[in-house]
Amino acid sequence: MTATEPVPVDLSPDGGPLVEVEDLKVWFPIRSGIVLDRHVGDVKAVDGVSLTIRRGETLGLVGESGCGKSTVGRALLRLYEPTAGRIVVNGRDITTLPEKELRPLRRTMQMIFQDPYASLNPRHSVGRLIGEPMRVHGVASRREVDGRVRELLERVGLPRDAVSRYPHEFSGGQRQRIGIARAVALNPDFIVADEPVSALDVSIQAQIINLMESLQDEFELTYLFIAHDLAVVRHISDRIAVMYLGSIVELSPADELYTGPLHPYTISLLSAIPIPDPVVERARRPLLLAGDLPSPANPPSGCRFHTRCPFVQPTRCRDERPELRTLSSGHSVACHWAEEVRAGTIRPHAQEPIFEPGPQPEPYLPPPV
Amino acid sequence: MSATVPAPARRTVEDGAPLLAVEDLRVHFRTERGTVHAVNGISFDIRPGETLGIVGESGCGKSVSSLAIMGLLAANGRVASGRALFDGRDLLPLRDSELRRIRGREIAMIFQDPMTSLNPVMTIGSQIREALQTHFGMERKPADTRATELLDQVGIPSARARLKDYPHQFSGGMRQRAMIAIALACEPRLLIADEPTTALDVTIQAQILELLRALVTDRGTALMLITHDLGVVAGMCERVNVMYGGTIVETGAAEQLFGRPRHPYTLGLLQSVPRLDEARGAKLRPIEGAPRDQLQEPRACPFQPRCRYEVDQSRQELPPLVEIEPGHHVACFNPVPADEWSRSRAVLP
């Protein structure tokens, strides 16, 4: 490389845990009736998630809509109240910390949202949007705030005169830069980025991803990067957790996920993502999944993926919930048959691309002659 | 009243003749800030049974051009010039009553969000029947049978019972299937799919794409697939138009565009997306800047302000689309070298 050698940043895997989550559950009650307001069930958005985020790393969290990935992110910041489980940030258990004691800690934990327009007050100037958190947390005097805001704007690639302008005057990519500037304004340790580039055009996505990467080095940030686009997540993350219907089904080093996925859901997901190359793409066949995501209010018994799994087996899958277990260094999976799937002794069966895993008709057998 | 109008006899298109030929299409919108030049003289054609991809980012004019062809522009939009010859007949000057006989019957369209194109207070069954009754004057009974068949074909289980459902009782993927069933009801010769899978999860997207693929091979329907997703285009399309700022900047066979992109914008798009099948660690090369507003008639290359390859001429005139190799056209005064993309990938760590 040339003169601009990047400053080495300690990204050693044993940087120690910054965030530890144990058996996190976030259930949303379903209520029925106007007068009686009975509690008739729960939407089990997150149902037993355990994970560790190391200092300085980016943990990617992927899954399809409704899998609970955003709920995990918000619960970590106590934007949702956890139903059960434990959240430890920086060695401190924040699971049940009262809001008053939590507030000073919020300085160290920030969030970047998908839709920067919806998360920026349209009546506040950019200067106020970015400066307000600094004043609220008392990290800078009024005079210092102005200078710091200008510095941040320049750092995230916005013009200096942006200070006095309003969110509607900016394009989607620029608004996301404002959201990012606001998130790093307090010098946080930990940032939850919830689909930060999904609403942006591809040429702009790359700008924002590069910006987030360089800010991570500069401010020594730890990211939880939540997105549905596995190619983007794989690019930015050190490790990736794949979620399905409220729980983590696979946790893998980013480099291994594409080459050696272990969980049948991950395998199907990867096979379904189109690759922008007609030569590669024409040689691939997606492993189609049957049906839609089941309702998290009434999740299937046993392995939650068994209703759609192309590798489903007659035993265990339907009645025994698989635990996340480590198969090789740093790579865990929640599947009873992961070894057999990996070894190729269990093959996917062909599935009709239907939408509801209803009862299948008996195969027609010709009568014996 | 239209029940007695016989369906127009279908002429078969001669071998090789395009099914739809668009020539010099220009679309303008009147807005408070002035006239927006949304589409600035695009020409392309699509042959029977062919899948044509149209890629580009928000505001590049990809959706507007198809809406213009179908006579579905918003009230402030207007076709400023051009022709859209469908089977030799220009659609653009047609009155709405004449277009109505072509829309749905000959050219069907499916959109990104099926919930906004399905009528929420009509059952799925009656929406499919409506198409059959309008265009073929079918009776209720046979229309019902046909509707069941159609739902069955697009892979909705227990189709007969599902006819009585309302759109909200369907999931996103099922709604898009129902939309496709309606679009197929009249066996159109051209299907325009505008971001048909953008609102869907990838596993559901794979199901829908498989369905569209089968449709093209089994029935020979021509498919115009409008999308921002380069991966979807790579897997589905034989030919691709890349649009930027209301113009086609590059067009060619999918292998040409993805293998040897010659327009700096196409190259930029390919360099900005991370690929699953490649080693990690390389930095993405975004396209700097943002598209400009289109309040002025383009007099220079629309991509020039963001371009790494700009030359003096790019600032002075609009580059014409010229053939750079057989079937591969590019609108650029300083095209990217043919091997640039493969070389830039080879140096990745």
Which CATH number belongs to the domain containing residue A257 in this structure?
A: 3.40.50.300
Q: In this structure, what DSSP letter does residue A244 have?
A: E
On whether residue A7 sits in a domain, the answer given is: no
Say if the Cβ atoms of A278 and B203 lie within 8 Å: no
Domain co-membership, A195 together with A287: yes
Tell me the three state secondary structure of residue B3: helix
On whether residue A132 sits in a domain, the answer given is: yes
On whether residue A100 sits in a domain, the answer given is: yes
Confidence of residue B7 (pLDDT cuts 50, 70, 90): very low
Domain co-membership, A241 together with A306: yes
On whether residue A358 sits in a domain, the answer given is: no
Say if the Cβ atoms of A210 and B283 lie within 8 Å: yes
Token digits of residue A36: 């009686």
**Which candidate, A270, A232, A272, places its Cα nearest to that of A250?**
A270
List alpha helices for B122-263, DSSP H: 124-136, 140-153, 159-162, 172-184, 202-219, 230-236, 254-259
| Res B193 pLDDT > 90 | yes
| Res B2 pLDDT > 80 | no
Question: Domain total for chain A?
Answer: 2
Burial string for A238-267 (b: 16+ CB within 10 Å, else e) reads: bbbbbbbbbbbbbbbbbebbbeebbbbbbb
| Res B245 pLDDT > 70 | yes
Q: Taking the CA atoms of chain B, what radius of gyration do you get in angstroms?
A: 21
Domain co-membership, A22 together with A166: no
Domain co-membership, A133 together with A233: no
Lowest pLDDT segment from A27-36, B9-18, B75-84: B9-18
Lowest pLDDT segment from A348-352, B98-102, B291-295: A348-352
Domain end among A187, A211, A229: A187
Q: In this structure, what DSSP letter does residue B103 have?
A: B
Confidence of residue A5 (pLDDT cuts 50, 70, 90): very low
List the single best residue of A117, A203, A204 to mutate versus B (max B Cβ within 10 A). A203
**Cβ atoms within 10 A of the Cβ of B330, count?**
28
8 Å CB contact between A330 and A252: yes
Distance, CA of A149 to CA of A139 (rounded, Å): 13
Q: How many helices (H) and strands (E) does chain A have?
A: 11, 12
8 Å CB contact between A317 and A302: yes
Angle between helices B140-153 and B124-136 (to 10 degrees): 120
Give A279's contacts in chain B (Cβ within 8 Å): 255, 258-259
Confidence of residue A227 (pLDDT cuts 50, 70, 90): very high
User: Could you read off the pLDDT of A159-173 as tens digits, one per residue?
Assistant: 989 999 999 999 889
Tell me the three state secondary structure of residue A237: coil
> What is the pLDDT averaged over residues A152-160?
94
Domain co-membership, A147 together with A197: no
Instruction: Identify the H or E element spanning A101.
Output: helix A99-106
Give B254's contacts in chain A (Cβ within 8 Å): 278
pLDDT of residue A6: 44
Confidence of residue B107 (pLDDT cuts 50, 70, 90): very high
8 Å CB contact between A173 and A200: yes
Min distance A102 CA to chain B CA atoms (Å): 36
Confidence of residue B293 (pLDDT cuts 50, 70, 90): confident
Min distance A336 CA to chain B CA atoms (Å): 22
User: Could you read off the pLDDT of A184-197 as tens digits, one per residue?
Assistant: 999 999 999 999 99
pLDDT of residue A1: 39
| Res A277 pLDDT > 90 | yes
Give A276's contacts in chain B (Cβ within 8 Å): 230-231, 233-234, 258, 270, 273, 275
Say if the Cβ atoms of A205 and B173 lie within 8 Å: no
| Res A363 pLDDT > 80 | no
Distance, CA of A352 to CA of A355 (rounded, Å): 9
Tokens 């289980």 belong to residue: B157
> What is the pLDDT averaged over residues B59-78?
94
Domain co-membership, A182 together with A271: no
| Res A361 pLDDT > 90 | no
Domain co-membership, A228 together with A301: yes
Confidence of residue A70 (pLDDT cuts 50, 70, 90): very high
Domain co-membership, A150 together with A44: no
| CA distance to A53, A277, B202, per residue, from A247 (Å) | 16, 33, 19
Domain co-membership, A210 together with A322: yes
Tokens 């975004």 belong to residue: B286
pLDDT of residue A354: 38
Min distance A140 CA to chain B CA atoms (Å): 32
B7 has a chain A CB within 8 A of its CB? no
8 Å CB contact between B64 and B38: yes
B312 has a chain A CB within 8 A of its CB? no
8 Å CB contact between B127 and B119: yes
pLDDT of residue B347: 63
Lowest pLDDT segment from A10-24, A318-332, B144-158, B259-273: A10-24
Give A273's contacts in chain B (Cβ within 8 Å): 202, 231, 276
> Which of A254, A272, A280 has its CB closest to that of B280?
A254
Q: State percent of chain A over pLDDT 90.
A: 73
In sequence order, which residues have a C-beta less than 8 Å from that of residue A66 and are 6 or more positions away? Answer: A245, A293, A296
8 Å CB contact between B85 and B21: yes
| CA distance to A124, A184, A232, A262, per residue, from A52 (Å) | 37, 22, 21, 20
Q: In what order do the strands lie in the sheet with A17-32?
A: A38-54, A17-32, A84-89, A92-93
> What is the pLDDT averaged over residues B51-79?
94
B208 has a chain A CB within 8 A of its CB? no
Domain end among A152, A187, A222: A187
Confidence of residue B15 (pLDDT cuts 50, 70, 90): low
Domain end among A170, A187, A204: A187
On whether residue A362 sits in a domain, the answer given is: no
Using the Cα atoms of residue A343, residue A346, residue A348 and residue A350 in order, give the sign of their dihedral: positive
pLDDT of residue A350: 60
B269 has a chain A CB within 8 A of its CB? yes
Q: State percent of chain A over pLDDT 70.
A: 91
On whether residue A1 sits in a domain, the answer given is: no
On whether residue A361 sits in a domain, the answer given is: no
How far from each other are the two terminal CA atoms of chain A, in whole angstroms?
76
> What is the pLDDT averaged over residues B65-80?
94
User: Could you read off the pLDDT of A283-314 as tens digits, one per residue?
Assistant: 888 888 877 788 888 999 999 999 999 999 99
**Which candidate, B96, B118, B91, places its Cα nearest to that of B107?**
B91
> What is the pLDDT averaged over residues B21-31?
97
Token digits of residue A74: 């918000």
**CA A185, A189, A190: angle at the middle one, nearest 5?**
95
Diameter of chain B measured on Cα atoms? 68
B169 has a chain A CB within 8 A of its CB? no
Q: Which residue has the higher pLDDT, A234 or B207?
A: A234
Min distance B106 CA to chain A CA atoms (Å): 28
pLDDT of residue A7: 42
| Res B6 pLDDT > 80 | no
| Res A98 pLDDT > 90 | yes
List the single best residue of B63, B169, B276 to mutate versus A (max A Cβ within 10 A). B276
Say if the Cβ atoms of B286 and A203 lie within 8 Å: yes
Q: Which residues, listed in sequence order, are joined to residue A89 by a DSSP beta bridge?
A: A19, A92
pLDDT of residue B39: 97
On whether residue A357 sits in a domain, the answer given is: no
| Res B220 pLDDT > 70 | yes
Tell me the three state secondary structure of residue B4: helix
Q: What are the CB-based long-range contacts (under 8 Å, 24+) for B266-270?
A: B266/B242, B267/B336, B267/B340, B267/B341, B268/A203, B268/B306, B268/B308, B269/A202, B269/A203, B269/B55, B269/B230, B269/B242, B270/A276, B270/B230, B270/B341
Give B203's contacts in chain A (Cβ within 8 Å): 64, 268-269, 272, 288-289
Distance, CA of A35 to CA of A346 (rounded, Å): 53
Q: Which residue has the higher pLDDT, A188 or A353?
A: A188
Residue A97 lies in domain = 17-108+188-343
Task: State the count of interchain CB pairs (< 8 A) between A and B.
Answer: 148
Write out the E strands in A65-182. Answer: 84-89, 92-93, 109-112
Domain co-membership, A94 together with A158: no
Domain co-membership, A259 together with A333: yes
pLDDT of residue A15: 66
User: Could you read off the pLDDT of B137-162 as tens digits, one per residue?
Assistant: 999 999 999 999 999 888 888 899 99
pLDDT of residue B55: 96
User: Could you read off the pLDDT of A74-89 as tens digits, one per residue?
Assistant: 999 999 999 999 999 9
Say if the Cβ atoms of A228 and B202 lie within 8 Å: yes
Say if the Cβ atoms of B157 and A354 lie within 8 Å: yes
Distance, CA of B122 to CA of A207 (rounded, Å): 44
What does pLDDT average to over chain A? 88
- What dihedral angle (degrees, nearest 10) is formed by the CA atoms of A124, A128, A130, A131? -160
| Res A8 pLDDT > 60 | no
Tokens 């930029």 belong to residue: B268
What does pLDDT average to over chain B? 90
| Res A365 pLDDT > 50 | no
Q: Which residues, listed in sequence order, are joined to residue B79 by a DSSP beta bridge?
A: B27
Domain co-membership, A102 together with A135: no
Distance, CA of B186 to CA of B188 (rounded, Å): 6
Q: What is the pTM of this model?
A: 0.87
pLDDT of residue B12: 44
Q: How many helices (H) and strands (E) does chain B have?
A: 13, 12
Q: Which residue has the higher pLDDT, B273 or A1?
A: B273
B203 has a chain A CB within 8 A of its CB? yes
pLDDT of residue A20: 97
